[in-house]
């Protein structure tokens, strides 16, 4: 991570008392979200921020009592299309920073909404074109 700037780093916690006795960390940089899991053997996964499609914050009663939350991230990523960043402290701040950074990265890359959404319900051939929306075989004669 020599050329990236770390924005926030959070750790998955136990639900009760919010103790950080897990070996999962979520690191938000200016270009990607890194997920590190494991102690004896570890796995590092990443989601490029421009691939993030939707972000949701969920907080159950127990999470509210202990100041925790789950940030659900939907992305166009083959290995991690849905990431549940469970039981993290400062979940609202994490979600807001992630959302702002996603928008910043998409602006930096000059991405349009049409370039982000692919493989939708009308995407039959992998290309987003008019033929996918209007199929002449569907019309009645």
CATH number at residue 15: 2.30.29.30
Whole-structure pTM over 0.85, yes or no?
no
47 has pLDDT over 90: yes
Say if CB 72 and CB 58 are below 8 A apart: yes
Confidence bin at 98 (pLDDT 50/70/90): very high
Which SS3 state, helix, strand or coil, does residue 34 take?
A: strand
Average pLDDT along the chain? 81
Phi, psi dihedrals of residue 100, rounded to the nearest 5°:
-65, -40
% the chain with pLDDT above 70: 74
**How far is it, in rounded angstroms, from Cα 50 to Cα 108?**
10
Q: Which domain holds residue 97?
A: 6-113
Give the lowest-confidence range in 38-47, 88-97, 114-123, 128-137.
128-137
Does 54 fall in a domain? yes
Say if CB 73 and CB 50 are below 8 A apart: no
Does 89 fall in a domain? yes
**How far is it, in rounded angstroms, from Cα 91 to Cα 89?**
5
Q: Report pLDDT for 9.
A: 87
Q: Report pLDDT for 97.
A: 94
Between these two residues, 105 and 115, which has the higher pLDDT value? 105
Does 23 fall in a domain? yes
Does 28 fall in a domain? yes
Does 128 fall in a domain? no
Total domain count, the chain: 1
Does 121 fall in a domain? no
Does 68 fall in a domain? yes
Q: Report pLDDT for 118.
A: 53
Residue 121 to residues 8, 114, 117, 139, Cα–Cα distance (Å): 35, 14, 11, 18
The mean pLDDT of 9-18, rounded to a whole number, is 77
The mean pLDDT of 110-134, rounded to a whole number, is 53
Q: Report pLDDT for 20.
A: 75
Angle, vertex CA 91, rays to CA 118 and CA 108, nearest 5: 45
Does 130 fall in a domain? no
């Amino acid at each position: 991570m020599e050329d990236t700037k770390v924005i926030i780093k959070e750790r998955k916690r136990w639900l009760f008392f919010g103790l950080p006795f897990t070996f999962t960390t979520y690191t938000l940089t200016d270009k990607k979200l890194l997920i590190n899991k494991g102690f004896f053997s570890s796995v590092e996964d990443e989601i490029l921020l421009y691939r993030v499609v939707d972000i949701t914050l969920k907080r159950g009663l127990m999470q509210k009592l202990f100041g925790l939350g789950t940030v659900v991230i939907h992305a166009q990523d083959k290995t991690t299309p849905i990431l549940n960043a469970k039981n993290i402290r400062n979940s609202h701040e994490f979600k807001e920073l992630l959302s702002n950074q996603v928008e910043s990265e998409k602006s930096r890359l000059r991405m349009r909404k049409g370039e982000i959404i692919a493989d939708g319900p009308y995407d039959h051939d992998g290309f987003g074109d008019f033929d996918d929306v209007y199929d002449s075989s569907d019309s009645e004669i």
